[in-house]
Structure 1
Amino acid sequence: MSALTLTSPAFANTADIPAIYTCDGHDSSPPLAWTAPPAGTRSLALIVEDPDAPDPAAPQRVWVHWVLYNLPPSAGSLPAGVHVDSLPPGTQQGLNDWKRTGYGGPCPPIGRHRYFFRLYALDKLLPDLGHPDKQRLVQAMQGHVLAQAELLGFYQR
Protein backbone atom coordinates (compact mmCIF):
# COMPACT_ATOMS: atom_id res chain seq x y z
CA MET A 1 0.00 0.00 0.00
CA SER A 2 1.14 3.53 -0.76
CA ALA A 3 1.72 6.05 2.04
CA LEU A 4 -1.25 8.20 2.97
CA THR A 5 -1.33 10.36 6.08
CA LEU A 6 -4.26 11.90 7.94
CA THR A 7 -3.80 14.84 10.33
CA SER A 8 -5.81 17.50 12.12
CA PRO A 9 -4.66 21.04 12.92
CA ALA A 10 -6.90 20.75 16.02
CA PHE A 11 -5.05 17.85 17.70
CA ALA A 12 -1.94 15.75 17.16
CA ASN A 13 -2.01 12.00 16.64
CA THR A 14 -2.48 10.28 20.05
CA ALA A 15 -3.40 13.61 21.72
CA ASP A 16 -6.66 14.71 23.31
CA ILE A 17 -9.47 15.92 21.07
CA PRO A 18 -10.49 19.48 22.05
CA ALA A 19 -13.87 19.59 23.83
CA ILE A 20 -15.34 21.86 21.12
CA TYR A 21 -15.47 18.79 18.82
CA THR A 22 -17.38 16.70 21.38
CA CYS A 23 -20.85 16.61 22.92
CA ASP A 24 -19.48 18.87 25.65
CA GLY A 25 -18.75 21.57 23.07
CA HIS A 26 -20.28 22.30 19.67
CA ASP A 27 -20.37 18.62 18.70
CA SER A 28 -18.90 19.64 15.35
CA SER A 29 -16.33 17.75 13.33
CA PRO A 30 -12.65 18.64 13.72
CA PRO A 31 -10.71 19.91 10.71
CA LEU A 32 -8.93 17.12 8.85
CA ALA A 33 -6.23 17.12 6.19
CA TRP A 34 -4.52 14.37 4.24
CA THR A 35 -1.66 13.88 1.86
CA ALA A 36 -2.21 13.13 -1.81
CA PRO A 37 -3.63 9.64 -2.19
CA PRO A 38 -1.79 7.06 -4.31
CA ALA A 39 -2.07 6.94 -8.08
CA GLY A 40 -5.24 5.20 -9.19
CA THR A 41 -7.35 6.53 -6.32
CA ARG A 42 -10.88 7.22 -7.54
CA SER A 43 -12.51 8.06 -4.19
CA LEU A 44 -11.91 8.27 -0.45
CA ALA A 45 -13.90 7.00 2.51
CA LEU A 46 -13.73 8.13 6.13
CA ILE A 47 -14.88 6.20 9.19
CA VAL A 48 -14.62 7.56 12.74
CA GLU A 49 -15.15 5.10 15.57
CA ASP A 50 -14.66 4.44 19.28
CA PRO A 51 -13.71 0.84 20.15
CA ASP A 52 -14.01 1.51 23.90
CA ALA A 53 -17.79 1.84 24.26
CA PRO A 54 -19.26 2.08 26.74
CA ASP A 55 -16.36 1.66 29.22
CA PRO A 56 -12.68 1.31 28.24
CA ALA A 57 -12.20 -1.07 31.18
CA ALA A 58 -14.88 -3.39 29.75
CA PRO A 59 -15.58 -2.46 26.10
CA GLN A 60 -18.68 -4.05 24.62
CA ARG A 61 -18.85 -2.58 21.14
CA VAL A 62 -17.34 -0.24 18.60
CA TRP A 63 -19.35 2.99 18.42
CA VAL A 64 -19.38 4.62 14.97
CA HIS A 65 -19.30 8.44 14.98
CA TRP A 66 -19.06 9.34 11.28
CA VAL A 67 -19.27 7.62 7.90
CA LEU A 68 -18.37 9.40 4.64
CA TYR A 69 -17.70 7.94 1.22
CA ASN A 70 -17.01 9.03 -2.36
CA LEU A 71 -14.92 11.98 -1.21
CA PRO A 72 -13.07 13.23 -4.28
CA PRO A 73 -9.35 12.32 -4.20
CA SER A 74 -8.48 15.96 -4.91
CA ALA A 75 -10.26 17.31 -1.80
CA GLY A 76 -7.22 17.22 0.51
CA SER A 77 -9.09 18.35 3.61
CA LEU A 78 -12.35 18.91 5.45
CA PRO A 79 -12.92 22.11 7.43
CA ALA A 80 -13.99 22.16 11.07
CA GLY A 81 -17.72 21.81 11.55
CA VAL A 82 -18.34 20.63 8.01
CA HIS A 83 -22.05 20.37 7.15
CA VAL A 84 -23.71 18.31 4.43
CA ASP A 85 -24.00 21.34 2.15
CA SER A 86 -20.29 22.13 2.45
CA LEU A 87 -18.94 18.62 1.86
CA PRO A 88 -16.84 18.25 -1.30
CA PRO A 89 -19.03 17.62 -4.39
CA GLY A 90 -20.05 13.99 -4.73
CA THR A 91 -19.37 13.10 -1.09
CA GLN A 92 -22.04 10.92 0.48
CA GLN A 93 -22.78 10.23 4.13
CA GLY A 94 -23.59 7.01 5.89
CA LEU A 95 -25.29 6.43 9.22
CA ASN A 96 -23.50 6.73 12.53
CA ASP A 97 -24.57 4.66 15.55
CA TRP A 98 -27.08 7.34 16.53
CA LYS A 99 -28.84 6.26 13.30
CA ARG A 100 -28.31 9.65 11.68
CA THR A 101 -26.02 11.07 9.03
CA GLY A 102 -23.25 13.48 9.87
CA TYR A 103 -20.68 13.72 12.61
CA GLY A 104 -21.51 12.81 16.18
CA GLY A 105 -18.72 13.84 18.51
CA PRO A 106 -17.16 11.94 21.38
CA CYS A 107 -19.46 11.68 24.39
CA PRO A 108 -18.04 8.86 26.52
CA PRO A 109 -20.13 7.89 29.55
CA ILE A 110 -17.06 6.81 31.56
CA GLY A 111 -13.29 6.74 31.19
CA ARG A 112 -10.82 7.90 28.53
CA HIS A 113 -11.84 6.64 25.10
CA ARG A 114 -9.88 6.24 21.87
CA TYR A 115 -11.30 7.73 18.67
CA PHE A 116 -9.93 6.40 15.40
CA PHE A 117 -10.28 8.55 12.28
CA ARG A 118 -9.57 6.21 9.36
CA LEU A 119 -9.25 7.41 5.78
CA TYR A 120 -9.29 4.91 2.91
CA ALA A 121 -8.10 5.50 -0.66
CA LEU A 122 -10.22 3.40 -3.03
CA ASP A 123 -9.60 2.36 -6.62
CA LYS A 124 -13.23 3.00 -7.54
CA LEU A 125 -16.10 5.38 -7.03
CA LEU A 126 -18.63 3.46 -4.96
CA PRO A 127 -22.23 3.14 -6.15
CA ASP A 128 -24.89 5.14 -4.31
CA LEU A 129 -25.35 3.07 -1.16
CA GLY A 130 -28.01 5.39 0.25
CA HIS A 131 -27.03 5.98 3.86
CA PRO A 132 -25.02 2.85 4.67
CA ASP A 133 -23.86 1.91 8.12
CA LYS A 134 -20.17 1.18 8.66
CA GLN A 135 -20.54 -2.54 7.98
CA ARG A 136 -22.24 -1.98 4.63
CA LEU A 137 -19.60 0.56 3.59
CA VAL A 138 -16.74 -1.74 4.60
CA GLN A 139 -18.31 -4.53 2.52
CA ALA A 140 -18.56 -2.21 -0.50
CA MET A 141 -14.90 -1.17 -0.09
CA GLN A 142 -13.63 -4.75 0.15
CA GLY A 143 -10.94 -5.45 -2.44
CA HIS A 144 -10.72 -1.77 -3.45
CA VAL A 145 -8.50 -0.23 -0.73
CA LEU A 146 -5.25 1.15 -2.14
CA ALA A 147 -4.08 2.84 1.07
CA GLN A 148 -5.26 3.66 4.58
CA ALA A 149 -4.34 6.41 7.03
CA GLU A 150 -5.23 6.70 10.68
CA LEU A 151 -5.44 9.53 13.19
CA LEU A 152 -6.00 8.64 16.85
CA GLY A 153 -7.47 11.05 19.36
CA PHE A 154 -8.52 10.62 22.98
CA TYR A 155 -11.33 12.13 25.00
CA GLN A 156 -12.50 11.87 28.60
CA ARG A 157 -15.35 13.86 30.13
Structure 2
Amino acid sequence: MKKSFIRAFANTAITAVAFSVSCAVYAGSLVLTSSDIGDGKHMAKTQEYTGFGCAGGNLSPQLSWRGAPEGTKAFALLVHDPDAPTGSGWWHWQVVNIPAGTTSLPAGAGAVNSKLLPKGASQNTNDYGEKAFGGACPPVGHGVHRYRFTLHALSKPLELPENASAALTGYMVKAHTIEEATIEALYKRD
Protein backbone atom coordinates (compact mmCIF):
# COMPACT_ATOMS: atom_id res chain seq x y z
CA MET A 1 0.00 0.00 0.00
CA LYS A 2 2.83 2.38 0.85
CA LYS A 3 4.49 1.83 -2.57
CA SER A 4 1.23 2.34 -4.47
CA PHE A 5 0.56 5.58 -2.57
CA ILE A 6 4.05 6.88 -3.36
CA ARG A 7 3.66 5.86 -7.02
CA ALA A 8 0.24 7.57 -7.27
CA PHE A 9 1.59 10.72 -5.58
CA ALA A 10 4.63 10.79 -7.90
CA ASN A 11 2.45 10.35 -11.01
CA THR A 12 0.12 13.14 -9.86
CA ALA A 13 3.05 15.46 -9.13
CA ILE A 14 4.68 14.74 -12.51
CA THR A 15 1.37 15.34 -14.31
CA ALA A 16 0.84 18.63 -12.44
CA VAL A 17 4.35 19.87 -13.23
CA ALA A 18 4.05 18.87 -16.90
CA PHE A 19 0.66 20.60 -17.17
CA SER A 20 1.88 23.83 -15.55
CA VAL A 21 5.00 23.92 -17.74
CA SER A 22 3.00 23.33 -20.94
CA CYS A 23 0.47 26.02 -19.94
CA ALA A 24 3.22 28.49 -19.09
CA VAL A 25 4.89 27.96 -22.46
CA TYR A 26 1.60 28.26 -24.34
CA ALA A 27 0.27 31.28 -22.42
CA GLY A 28 3.21 33.56 -23.22
CA SER A 29 4.03 32.35 -26.72
CA LEU A 30 3.98 35.11 -29.32
CA VAL A 31 2.76 33.79 -32.69
CA LEU A 32 3.11 35.64 -36.02
CA THR A 33 0.97 34.62 -39.01
CA SER A 34 0.14 35.96 -42.46
CA SER A 35 -2.42 35.35 -45.18
CA ASP A 36 0.17 36.47 -47.78
CA ILE A 37 3.46 34.79 -46.82
CA GLY A 38 4.41 31.57 -45.05
CA ASP A 39 7.34 30.15 -43.15
CA GLY A 40 9.59 28.33 -45.61
CA LYS A 41 7.33 29.31 -48.54
CA HIS A 42 8.24 31.44 -51.55
CA MET A 43 6.72 34.92 -51.64
CA ALA A 44 4.67 36.08 -54.60
CA LYS A 45 5.79 38.70 -57.14
CA THR A 46 3.48 41.03 -55.18
CA GLN A 47 6.18 41.22 -52.47
CA GLU A 48 9.00 41.89 -54.99
CA TYR A 49 10.49 45.38 -55.01
CA THR A 50 9.85 47.87 -57.81
CA GLY A 51 13.27 49.19 -58.87
CA PHE A 52 16.90 47.97 -58.83
CA GLY A 53 15.98 45.80 -61.84
CA CYS A 54 12.93 44.30 -60.09
CA ALA A 55 9.36 44.86 -61.29
CA GLY A 56 7.13 43.49 -58.53
CA GLY A 57 4.22 44.98 -56.66
CA ASN A 58 6.34 46.08 -53.65
CA LEU A 59 3.38 45.39 -51.36
CA SER A 60 4.04 44.60 -47.71
CA PRO A 61 2.23 41.42 -46.67
CA GLN A 62 -0.68 41.15 -44.26
CA LEU A 63 0.55 40.15 -40.78
CA SER A 64 -1.33 39.10 -37.64
CA TRP A 65 -0.16 38.09 -34.17
CA ARG A 66 -1.39 36.79 -30.86
CA GLY A 67 0.04 35.76 -27.50
CA ALA A 68 1.77 39.00 -26.57
CA PRO A 69 3.66 38.44 -23.32
CA GLU A 70 2.78 40.26 -20.12
CA GLY A 71 4.50 43.63 -19.94
CA THR A 72 4.33 44.34 -23.69
CA LYS A 73 4.22 48.13 -24.14
CA ALA A 74 4.77 48.27 -27.93
CA PHE A 75 5.81 46.13 -30.90
CA ALA A 76 8.51 46.47 -33.54
CA LEU A 77 8.61 44.68 -36.89
CA LEU A 78 11.97 44.11 -38.56
CA VAL A 79 12.36 42.50 -42.01
CA HIS A 80 15.87 41.41 -42.96
CA ASP A 81 17.50 39.39 -45.75
CA PRO A 82 20.64 37.80 -44.24
CA ASP A 83 21.61 36.37 -47.65
CA ALA A 84 22.10 39.69 -49.46
CA PRO A 85 25.69 39.92 -50.76
CA THR A 86 26.60 42.95 -48.63
CA GLY A 87 28.43 41.48 -45.66
CA SER A 88 25.61 42.61 -43.36
CA GLY A 89 22.43 41.54 -45.14
CA TRP A 90 19.69 43.91 -46.27
CA TRP A 91 17.03 45.69 -44.20
CA HIS A 92 13.71 45.69 -46.05
CA TRP A 93 11.40 47.14 -43.41
CA GLN A 94 11.62 48.53 -39.89
CA VAL A 95 8.46 49.60 -38.09
CA VAL A 96 8.75 50.69 -34.45
CA ASN A 97 6.34 51.75 -31.72
CA ILE A 98 3.38 49.76 -32.98
CA PRO A 99 0.89 50.23 -30.10
CA ALA A 100 0.62 47.31 -27.67
CA GLY A 101 -3.09 46.73 -28.43
CA THR A 102 -2.42 46.16 -32.13
CA THR A 103 -2.77 42.58 -33.40
CA SER A 104 -2.37 42.97 -37.17
CA LEU A 105 -1.13 45.06 -40.08
CA PRO A 106 -3.06 44.96 -43.37
CA ALA A 107 -1.37 44.29 -46.71
CA GLY A 108 0.12 47.54 -47.99
CA ALA A 109 0.72 49.02 -44.52
CA GLY A 110 4.36 49.51 -45.50
CA ALA A 111 3.71 52.08 -48.23
CA VAL A 112 5.53 55.43 -48.11
CA ASN A 113 3.52 57.78 -45.85
CA SER A 114 1.19 54.89 -45.06
CA LYS A 115 -2.22 55.67 -43.64
CA LEU A 116 -2.64 51.98 -42.78
CA LEU A 117 -0.17 51.91 -39.89
CA PRO A 118 -1.66 52.40 -36.42
CA LYS A 119 -1.27 55.82 -34.82
CA GLY A 120 2.11 56.13 -33.12
CA ALA A 121 3.90 53.59 -35.32
CA SER A 122 6.71 54.83 -37.54
CA GLN A 123 8.78 53.39 -40.37
CA ASN A 124 12.54 53.80 -40.36
CA THR A 125 14.68 54.08 -43.48
CA ASN A 126 15.27 50.74 -45.20
CA ASP A 127 18.38 49.86 -47.22
CA TYR A 128 16.70 51.15 -50.39
CA GLY A 129 16.73 54.59 -48.72
CA GLU A 130 12.96 54.80 -48.14
CA LYS A 131 10.87 55.01 -44.97
CA ALA A 132 8.70 52.17 -46.17
CA PHE A 133 8.57 48.47 -46.97
CA GLY A 134 11.04 47.52 -49.69
CA GLY A 135 10.25 44.17 -51.25
CA ALA A 136 12.53 41.29 -52.16
CA CYS A 137 15.03 41.91 -54.96
CA PRO A 138 17.86 39.39 -54.78
CA PRO A 139 20.42 39.41 -57.61
CA VAL A 140 19.44 37.28 -60.61
CA GLY A 141 20.92 33.79 -60.29
CA HIS A 142 21.96 34.32 -56.64
CA GLY A 143 19.71 31.52 -55.44
CA VAL A 144 17.08 31.51 -52.73
CA HIS A 145 17.18 34.33 -50.18
CA ARG A 146 15.54 34.21 -46.75
CA TYR A 147 13.37 37.13 -45.64
CA ARG A 148 12.91 37.18 -41.88
CA PHE A 149 9.76 39.01 -40.79
CA THR A 150 10.33 39.28 -37.02
CA LEU A 151 7.82 40.80 -34.64
CA HIS A 152 9.27 41.96 -31.31
CA ALA A 153 7.18 42.50 -28.18
CA LEU A 154 8.88 45.45 -26.45
CA SER A 155 9.09 46.38 -22.79
CA LYS A 156 8.74 50.05 -23.74
CA PRO A 157 8.20 52.30 -26.76
CA LEU A 158 11.50 53.30 -28.35
CA GLU A 159 13.01 56.77 -28.49
CA LEU A 160 15.07 56.89 -31.67
CA PRO A 161 16.58 59.79 -33.61
CA GLU A 162 14.67 60.85 -36.76
CA ASN A 163 17.13 59.14 -39.12
CA ALA A 164 18.23 56.21 -36.97
CA SER A 165 20.37 53.68 -38.79
CA ALA A 166 19.18 50.11 -39.17
CA ALA A 167 21.94 49.00 -36.80
CA LEU A 168 20.86 51.47 -34.09
CA THR A 169 17.21 50.51 -34.54
CA GLY A 170 18.08 46.82 -34.32
CA TYR A 171 20.19 47.40 -31.22
CA MET A 172 17.42 49.28 -29.42
CA VAL A 173 14.78 46.76 -30.46
CA LYS A 174 16.89 43.84 -29.21
CA ALA A 175 17.67 45.67 -25.95
CA HIS A 176 13.96 45.96 -25.13
CA THR A 177 12.58 42.71 -26.60
CA ILE A 178 10.56 40.54 -24.22
CA GLU A 179 9.71 37.94 -26.86
CA GLU A 180 9.84 37.63 -30.64
CA ALA A 181 8.22 35.60 -33.41
CA THR A 182 9.44 35.12 -36.99
CA ILE A 183 8.13 34.08 -40.37
CA GLU A 184 11.03 33.23 -42.68
CA ALA A 185 9.73 33.63 -46.23
CA LEU A 186 11.78 32.85 -49.33
CA TYR A 187 12.39 34.50 -52.71
CA LYS A 188 14.68 34.09 -55.72
CA ARG A 189 15.09 35.53 -59.20
CA ASP A 190 16.40 33.37 -62.04
TM-score past 0.5 threshold: yes
Where do 5+ consecutive residues of structure 1 fail to align? none
Letter in 2 for 1:37: A
The structure 2 residue matched to 1:39, chosen from 61, 70, 74, is: 70
Bigger helix fraction: 2
Q: Does the 8 Å contact 1:47/1:134 carry over to 2?
A: no
Q: By how many angstroms is 1:128 displaced?
A: 4.5
Where do 5+ consecutive residues of structure 2 fail to align? 1-24, 50-54
> Computing the radius of gyration over CA atoms, which structure comes out larger, 1 or 2?
2
Q: By how many angstroms is 1:142 displaced?
A: 4.3
Decide whether aligned partners of structure 1 residues 143 and 27 sit closer, same or farther in structure 2, where only a CA change above 3 A counts: closer
Q: Does the 8 Å contact 1:10/1:31 carry over to 2?
A: yes
**Structure 1 range deviating more: 88-97 or 128-137:** 128-137
User: What's the counterpart of residue 131 of structure 1?
Assistant: 163
- C-alpha distance in 2 between matches for 1:15 and 1:44: 24
State the superposition RMSD in angstroms. Answer: 1.7
Q: Give the TM-score normalised by structure 2.
A: 0.75
User: What's the counterpart of residue 105 of structure 2?
Assistant: 78
- C-alpha distance in 2 between matches for 1:69 and 1:113: 24
1:7 aligns with 2:29: no
Q: Deviations over 1:88-140 (max 9, x none)?
A: 11001111111211000001112110000011101111125323222111222
Give aligned pairs, total.
153
* Greater relative contact order, per chain length (Cα 8 Å cut-off, separation 6+): 1
User: What's the counterpart of residue 17 of structure 2?
Assistant: none
Bigger strand fraction: 1
- C-alpha distance in 1 between matches for 2:175 and 2:80: 21
- C-alpha distance in 1 between matches for 2:168 and 2:150: 16
